[in-house]
Amino acid sequence: MRCQVAIIGAGPSGLMLGQLLQKQGIDTVILERQTPEYVLGRIRAGVLEDQAVELLREAGIGPRMDEEGLVHSGIELSFAGRRERIDLSGPTGRSVLVYGQTEVTRDLMDARAASGAVSIYEADQVQLHDVTTDKPYVTYVKDGQGHRLDCDYIAGCDGFHGVSRQTIPTTILRNYERVYPFGWLGLLSDTPPVSDELIYAHHERGFSLCSLRSMTRSRYYLQVPLTEQVEDWSDQRFWDELKRRLPEEVAAELVTGESLEKSIAPLRSFVAEPMQYGNLFLVGDAAHIVPPTGAKGLNLAASDVYTLYKIMHQVYADKRTDLIEKYSQICLRRIWKAERFSWWMTTLLHKFDDNGFDNKIQMAELDYYTSTEYGRATIAENYVGLPYDPVE
């Protein structure tokens, strides 16, 4: 089998890239290690920057997203007995859209199936070969049989633990990482959200977040030590702790219920450089991870997809192979700014080891950024997403 671009991974970044390229007449095949049901079962973020929304519309999945997505023009920061709303739209003229990543993935899967493009699930033992030549190829095992996929380029959209980044020699690849000393315990429930905007709460017991997927489905998070086990957190224990960390008037309005899903996710900041090696391109979590505090995970993947999509279009339409070497440089400029914002939000809002000086600085930061026009505008500008860098 042969295609122009082989895509490793059928998460939202791989599916989005595949749809955009197919619409430009560029033939793609997607290889995914898991089943479609497993991919759809992964609970992830749901805040989309408007640029990501536009890219998804271009990929052909706008209708349901536009009908069911919730436009948010602000967020709330809670700390030291204060509640401060950050207006996103006023300083930027833009907003974000709350639409679950599971729904994005489902829509992209449906669109790809309708297009007739090839997606191969349960592809085992995927290996990338000759990526520095003009004839790269991928081998994999499906139903016990070995297969080979020849291609011009390979897009590694297979996440942090995937094979794509591991294909780049350690003598070339450099990793930058910070692992945080806590995780997020998340609970999903079919309960009306306590607020129609996200609430980020700093508290002496730890950070909490009130989020939502729809007006009938809520997602809540608690900062917990990495030693915690999800089995030790009953629904009642979760709700009781969440109420302790929220402002009293918010806690009084909280509607509790049976959890649909609970899990603990560790937090890390991670960037791999370079993101391009020969004719292999790393996309999304294969190249970078951000703590979810800044709502940048899927959005950063979308900006990678945008850059690679624009480059591939010009490669095939105009023979602009000179752009290939610019992929990593273009992506990393935006990635490091988003990494900075996600690290800053995490540092600002979470409880770290008790340190009097650091705690005072944390409070001063929160006070400054919520008390000045420029501070609020800085948060808004970064939260709605910095502009995509042009491909040129």
Reported as a single tens digit per residue, the pLDDT across 238-254 is 999 999 999 999 999 99
Of the listed ranges 4-13, 34-43, 258-267, the one predicted with least confidence: 34-43
pTM recorded for the entire structure:
0.93
Q: Cα(197)–Cα(158) distance, rounded to whole angstroms?
A: 32
Contacts of 383 by beta carbon, 8 Å cutoff, 6+ apart: 75, 86, 88, 96, 294, 295, 341
Q: What is the pLDDT of residues 195-236, one digit of tens each?
A: 999 999 999 999 999 999 889 999 999 999 999 999 999 999
**Domain boundaries in the chain?**
5-71+96-176+268-352
Give the separation between CA 173 and CA 11, rounded to whole angstroms: 24
The pLDDT score that the predictor gives to residue 128 is: 98
Annotation marks residue 91 as catalytic: no
Q: 3-class DSSP state for residue 150? A: strand
Q: State residue 137's pLDDT score.
A: 97
Cα torsion for 5, 337, 268, 32, to the nearest 10°? Answer: -10
Which residue in 137, 316, 383, 388 is the catalytic one? 383
Among 99, 180, 200, 327, which one carries the catalytic annotation?
200
| Catalytic residue of the set 296, 310, 313, 350 | 296
Report the percentage of the chain scoring pLDDT > 90: 95
CA distance 306 to 56: 10
Report the amino acid identity of residue 162: G
> How high is the pLDDT of residue 213?
87
Q: Is 153 an annotated catalytic residue? A: no
Contact predicate 153/264, CB 8 Å: no
Question: Active-site residue among 137, 292, 316, 388?
Answer: 292
296 is catalytic: yes
Q: What is the pLDDT of residue 112?
A: 95
pLDDT score, position 16? 97
> Does 337 participate in catalysis according to the annotation?
no
Q: Is the pLDDT of residue 43 over 70?
A: no
Interacting residues of 374 by C-beta distance below 8 A, sequence separation 6+:
none
String of DSSP letters for 13-42 = HHHHHHHHHHHTT--EEEE-SS-HHHHHT-
Averaged pLDDT for residues 330-355? 94
Fold of 5-71+96-176+268-352: FAD/NAD(P)-binding domain (3.50.50)
C-alpha to C-alpha distances, 364 to 52, 211, 355, nearest whole angstrom: 33, 25, 14
| Per-residue model confidence as pLDDT tens digits over 174-199 | 999 999 999 999 999 999 999 999 99
pLDDT (tens digit, 9 = 90+) per residue, 110-156? 999 999 999 999 999 999 999 999 999 999 999 999 999 999 999 99
Q: Which residue shows structure tokens 């380029």?
A: 153
**Distance (Å, whole) CA 333 – CA 337:** 7
| Residue whose C-alpha is closest to residue 14's, from 331, 390, 302, 310 | 302
* 374 is annotated as an active-site residue: no
Q: Where are the beta strands (DSSP E) in the chain?
A: 5-8, 28-31, 47-49, 70-72, 74-79, 82-87, 96-98, 118-120, 124-129, 137-142, 145-150, 153-156, 174-189, 199-201, 208-212, 218-225, 259-273, 276-277, 280-282, 288-289
* φ, ψ dihedrals at 140, nearest 5°: -160, 165
Average pLDDT, the chain: 95
Which helix (H) or strand (E) is 113 found in, with range? helix 101-115
The residues near 57 (Cβ < 8 Å, ≥ 6 apart) are 65, 66
- pLDDT tens digit string along 52-65? 999 999 999 999 99
